Amino acid sequence: MAEAERIIGTPDTPDASGTEPERPDENAASGEPSGSEDAQAPAERPRGGRRIAVLFTVASLAYALDLVSKLLVVAKLEHHDSIEVIGDWLKFEAVRNPGAAFGFGQAFTIIFTVIAAAVIVVIARLARKLYSLPWAIALGLLLGGALGNLTDRIFRSPGFFEGAVVDFIAPKHFAVFNLADSAIVCGGILIVLLSFRGLDPDGTVHKD
């Protein structure tokens, strides 16, 4: 009789070795992830739609301002005396620049043209996963500036992909530049700041 009671006993009763039987993992049985998996889960993307419209709006404004300013400089200032804006410290002076921004690398016009075209393609591809407003503004400035200077490379003399960029902003003791150069520099600085803060173009924030 005692033997029967021992067999019918509850499963929580320790066995002869004094150890309790193993219990199945409740989380595994219910299909819920464990705590370690929760800690490794990726950060969710912030709510809100993609910022493609912001990117192209900023790019369009930067491009339009650069294009209009260059048309005015060629029509009104080229082959004329420079205009003093703030005495000798800042002048408007028409200069044709075959090099990169701020007059650097004048012997590599075609290379800079190809680089500008590649930057435009990369930004267009990146726009598909763009959810961050600051990144949209930064990339829009880069895109507008690159398009502005690329237009000069393609359509201005001396030839296709070898055209000289129109520069006209001439600070004292500094290289002459244009609004496209300014947009590129401002966009680049903003991208560096966003990267230091750990903000990605898709809106997620990472901490290294």
Angle between helices 52-72 and 179-196 in degrees, nearest 10:
150
Q: Which residue has the tokens 């889960």?
A: 41
* 96 vs 121: CA distance, rounded Å: 26
Read off the pLDDT of residues 106-125 as tens digits, 9 standing for 90 and up: 545 667 778 888 989 999 88
Task: Give the pLDDT score at 106.
Answer: 53
Residue ranges of the chain with per-residue pLDDT less than 70: 1-48, 99-110, 208
Task: Quote the CA–CA distance of 149 and 147 in Å, as a whole number.
Answer: 6
Q: Please spell the DSSP secondary structure of 143-182, one letter per residue.
A: HHHHHHHHHHHHHSTT-TTTPPEEEEEEETTS--B-HHHH
Q: In this structure, what are the phi and psi dihedrals at residue 38, rounded to the nearest 5 degrees?
A: -65, -35
Instruction: Single out the residue of 86, 87, 153, 170 nearest to residue 115, CA to CA.
Output: 153
Catalytic residue set: 167, 181
